[in-house]
Amino acid sequence: MTSTLNPRFTFETFVVGAANRLAVTAGRTVAENPGSAYNPLFIYSGSGLGKTHVLMAIGHAAKAIAAQLNIEYLTLDEYVEAFHAAIAAGQGDAFRRRFQNVDVLLVDDVQFLTNRKEMQAELLRLTEALQQAGHQIVLASDRPPAEIADLDERLISRFSGGLVVDMGIPDYETRVAILRRKADERGSAFQPGVLETVAKVEYPNVRELMGALNRLIAFQAVNDTPINDEAARKVLGIPTAASPAGATPAAAAPTAASPDEFSQFLTDVTVTVGKAVEAWRARVAEAVLRWEGEGYRTGRLEKLLDQETPAAVDEAIAAYVQDVERLRALETEVATLDPQAAGEKVFRDPDRMQEAEAAAAKVRDGAAPPPAPSAAFPLESYVPGPSNDVGLNAARDVIGKPGKKYNPLVLVGRSGLGKTHLLNAIGLELAKKKNAVVACLSTQAFVDELIAAIDGNRVDWWRARYKRATALLLDDIQLLAGKERTQEELFNLFNQFLDADKQLVFTAPAHPNTLEGLEERIVSRLEGGLVAEIGEPDKELRRSVLDKLLVTHRIPAEPALLDYLADRPIESVRNLTGLVQRVVDAAAAQDAPVSAGLARDVLEGAPPAGTRRTTGLRTSGIVVSSAGGVRSREKMVWDWPQASDRVIEDLR
């Protein structure tokens, strides 16, 4: 039933090298102390590397130490056969008892447990029983437990619970040692260098190494003269010393010296393949398959194949490829303008080039770029001052390094402080860069566009239009409040822009986290860049703005007028503009020159009929427009108007 141990397979006849030292050491340990050291011991290696040898050597060694031990070696197939026979004879229990009494059980070729559920269960039971009884079990396989297909988890863990060792391909030194020992065993002697030459060939296992040795021994026996290095190479088909062993060149020119069957075969096949594959057909067929695989119509090429000997095959293929490249370019271009149109079949048929060009032109015409920044707000006309220098500096950084430094940039401030001006100014500057497409618009327009796109079933087109932009600037982001779909779309755009390092700029009346109706994910993204506040215009700024305003109205800038106007309590540059306009209108109505006195009359006396008073003019300066909100007490104090202004207000 079970195999007997091969007397030649002992530890003494096993050549130990680096690749198998661990397995041999573990084997010896197990043989000396069965059941106590590594239980189970699992040895795995490729075919012909000595698993069976070590397994049997363990049996021999254990027997030598304790002759009374009951040792069984068997392959898994034998185990299966024995089990089936026992079951058939109705002696399943006797079978189990028999194996449970084995002191050292050596099972070879365990990899055949694949797809044998009942055997796996049986082996699991046996392993447990043996382990409990302190009996040794050693298993050998051509792969580690985890790689045996369909192996029960419990068996894997049980096998891995002891020691799992592998045996590799022996190294050069070990191979020399193996060859010397085996040659010695056979009573053959070789000239110096012969066995070393054989050892240089990296045979995948020892069995093949033995095969090589056997051939040399046979060759030497037939020819009376001792074999030398060169003859050994010839016999074994090893390339000569010039080319390193094991690295035969791909061309593999058949060596004339030895009738190498494989080389001969290779030569024959080469001739056959050469005949079989007419070169031009191969090229055409290759092109057909390639472009067909990429989704292009290949009718033009297929026609070539129908011909016997077409002229100028390569030119035809090249022309086809050129057309395909053009189609590709068109499709890519169209895809950025209108993704829906890009899927049209016309872009996949090189025989309809003109139609494809026409279709692309049509899409090109229909695709308007996203709204651009207004030219009315150049950066040069933005008046700097201490109250807006944070915002302005941030804007300059953004212009210098779009998408890199502050992304997004959120300009926060009350209405009329110049946020829109700065936003457009940034847009204009960014648009000056090469290949820049700057989308700059009010949030309201953005929402309206999306609604129109949804209405016209062109949301893809709308999205693509913004995706093309290299920067997106939205004015009055608070208007997104409650517009869920727009927030959704903006969120997606936001992420794409951030990922691509494209600049985003927004304006808001107050800090984003105080804005109501904005989704948390939008708010957190807005907060993620730089939030730059633009404060109320300071006196210096007001003077600068007044200077400019007076110049535009062609009014001589008298210091008294400037001082008076600059000291007026105003909240924003827009108010200041309104102020000057009123004075200028009044002067025009009275046909009088603009002066400080006139201004005082107009602004503090009874207002001329027909002139609407701006709200906020009467306020103390700390009352805030409805759009914004003063959130901190400190800010209120900070923005307190000049003392003189307050007195005037108090007097009223």
Partner 1 sequence: MSLVNFTTREITCKIVYYGPGRSGKTTNLHYIYGRVPETRRGRMVSLATQTDRTLFFDFLPIDLGQISGFATRFQLYTVPGQVYYNATRRLVLQGADGVVFVGDSQARQLDENIESLQNLQSNLLEHGVDVRTMPLVMQYNKQDLPRELILTQAELDDALNFRSVPSFAADALHGKGVFETLKGISELVLKKLAAGSPAA
Count of C-beta atoms within a 10 Å radius of residue 584: 20
- Nearest alpha carbon to residue 426 among 496, 475, 378: 378
Per CB under 8 A, the list member of 101, 223, 240, 270 interacting with partner 1 is 270
Using the rule CB under 8 A, give the single segment among 166-174, 261-269, 381-389, 608-616 that binds partner 1.
261-269
Report the relative pairing of strands 471-475 and 409-412 from DSSP bridges.
unpaired
Residue type at position 346: V
The DSSP secondary structure of 145-211, one letter per residue, reads: GGGSTT--HHHHHHHHHSEEEEE----HHHHHHHHHHHHHHHT----TTHHHHHHHS--SSHHHHHH
Mapped onto helix, strand or coil, the DSSP state of residue 212 is: helix
Mapped onto helix, strand or coil, the DSSP state of residue 3 is: strand
Instruction: Tell me how far, at minimum, the Cβ of 17 lies from partner 1, in Å.
Output: 19
Per CB under 8 A, the list member of 118, 128, 286, 563 interacting with partner 1 is 286
Per CB under 8 A, the list member of 256, 273, 643, 651 interacting with partner 1 is 273
- Measured from the CB atom, the residue of 324 and 599 that comes closer to partner 1 is 324
- Draw the binding track, 212-251, toward partner 1 (x: CB under 8 A; -: no contact): -------------------------x--------xxx-xx
Instruction: Tell me how far, at minimum, the Cβ of 250 lies from partner 1, in Å.
Output: 4
- Measured from the CB atom, the residue of 178 and 550 that comes closer to partner 1 is 178
Count of C-beta atoms within a 10 Å radius of residue 637: 9
- Measured from the CB atom, the residue of 245 and 562 that comes closer to partner 1 is 245
Using the rule CB under 8 A, give the single segment among 21-29, 131-139, 286-294, 567-575 that binds partner 1.
286-294
Burial class (CB in 10 A: 0-12, 13-18, 19+), 198: buried
- Taking a C-beta distance cutoff of 8 angstroms, is the pair 161, 63 a contact? no
Per CB under 8 A, the list member of 92, 226, 274, 384 interacting with partner 1 is 274
Instruction: Tell me how far, at minimum, the Cβ of 282 lies from partner 1, in Å.
Output: 7
Per CB under 8 A, the list member of 92, 134, 204, 400 interacting with partner 1 is 204
Q: Does 420 bind partner 1 (CB under 8 A)?
A: no
Q: Does 119 bind partner 1 (CB under 8 A)?
A: no
Per CB under 8 A, the list member of 290, 405, 463, 635 interacting with partner 1 is 290
Per CB under 8 A, the list member of 78, 538, 601, 639 interacting with partner 1 is 78
Pinpoint the alpha helices (H) of 349-483: 353-366, 389-400, 419-431, 443-455, 459-467
Per CB under 8 A, the list member of 85, 277, 376, 454 interacting with partner 1 is 277
Q: Does 386 bind partner 1 (CB under 8 A)?
A: no
Instruction: Tell me how far, at minimum, the Cβ of 55 lies from partner 1, in Å.
Output: 14
Per CB under 8 A, the list member of 202, 333, 344, 449 interacting with partner 1 is 202
- Taking a C-beta distance cutoff of 8 angstroms, is the pair 14, 54 a contact? yes
Interface of this chain with partner 1, residues 14 to 73, rule: CB under 8 A: 47
Per CB under 8 A, the list member of 128, 302, 325, 501 interacting with partner 1 is 302
Per CB under 8 A, the list member of 172, 265, 638, 640 interacting with partner 1 is 265
Question: What string of H, E and C letters represents the secondary structure of 75-117?
Answer: EHHHHHHHHHHHHHCCCHHHHHHHHHCCCEEEEECHHHHCCCH
- Measured from the CB atom, the residue of 216 and 334 that comes closer to partner 1 is 216
Count of C-beta atoms within a 10 Å radius of residue 595: 17
Count of C-beta atoms within a 10 Å radius of residue 3: 14
Helix axes 459-467, 313-337, angle to 10 degrees: 100
Beta bridge partners of 508: 412
Q: Does 150 bind partner 1 (CB under 8 A)?
A: no
- Nearest alpha carbon to residue 107 among 169, 178, 155, 170: 155
Q: Does 75 bind partner 1 (CB under 8 A)?
A: yes
Looking up tokens 């070990």, which residue turns up?
174
Per CB under 8 A, the list member of 4, 88, 275, 591 interacting with partner 1 is 275
Per CB under 8 A, the list member of 12, 153, 224, 261 interacting with partner 1 is 261
Instruction: Tell me how far, at minimum, the Cβ of 444 lies from partner 1, in Å.
Output: 54
Separation CA 588–CA 611 (nearest Å): 13
Looking up tokens 């609604």, which residue turns up?
451
Q: Does 305 bind partner 1 (CB under 8 A)?
A: yes
- Measured from the CB atom, the residue of 253 and 560 that comes closer to partner 1 is 253
Residue 378, H or E segment: none
Instruction: Tell me how far, at minimum, the Cβ of 520 lies from partner 1, in Å.
Output: 50
Q: Does 268 bind partner 1 (CB under 8 A)?
A: yes
CA distances from 584 to 555, 598, 640 (A): 9, 10, 28
Give how many residues touch partner 1 by CB under 8 A. Answer: 45
Per CB under 8 A, the list member of 82, 177, 231, 285 interacting with partner 1 is 285
Instruction: Tell me how far, at minimum, the Cβ of 107 lies from partner 1, in Å.
Output: 13
Q: Does 256 bind partner 1 (CB under 8 A)?
A: no
Instruction: Tell me how far, at minimum, the Cβ of 270 lies from partner 1, in Å.
Output: 5
Count of C-beta atoms within a 10 Å radius of residue 642: 14
Instruction: Tell me how far, at minimum, the Cβ of 342 lies from partner 1, in Å.
Output: 25
List, in order, residues 6 or more apart from 295 with CB less than 8 Å away: 348
Sign (positive or negative) of CA dihedral 469, 475, 478, 483: negative
Using the rule CB under 8 A, give the single segment among 157-165, 280-288, 370-378, 591-599 that binds partner 1.
280-288
Q: Does 262 bind partner 1 (CB under 8 A)?
A: yes
The DSSP secondary structure of 188-202, one letter per residue, reads: ----TTHHHHHHHS-
Residue type at position 468: R
Q: Evaluate the omega torsion of the peptide bond into residue 350 and state whether it is cis, within 30 degrees of 0.
A: no
Q: From the centroid of its chain, how far is CA 141?
A: 39
Instruction: Tell me how far, at minimum, the Cβ of 195 lies from partner 1, in Å.
Output: 19
Using the rule CB under 8 A, give the single segment among 275-283, 401-409, 433-441, 624-632 that binds partner 1.
275-283
- Measured from the CB atom, the residue of 274 and 593 that comes closer to partner 1 is 274
Name the site residues for partner 1 (rule: CB under 8 A). 47, 75, 77-78, 109, 201-204, 208, 211, 237, 246-248, 250-252, 260-262, 264-266, 268-270, 272-279, 281-282, 285-286, 288-290, 293, 302, 305
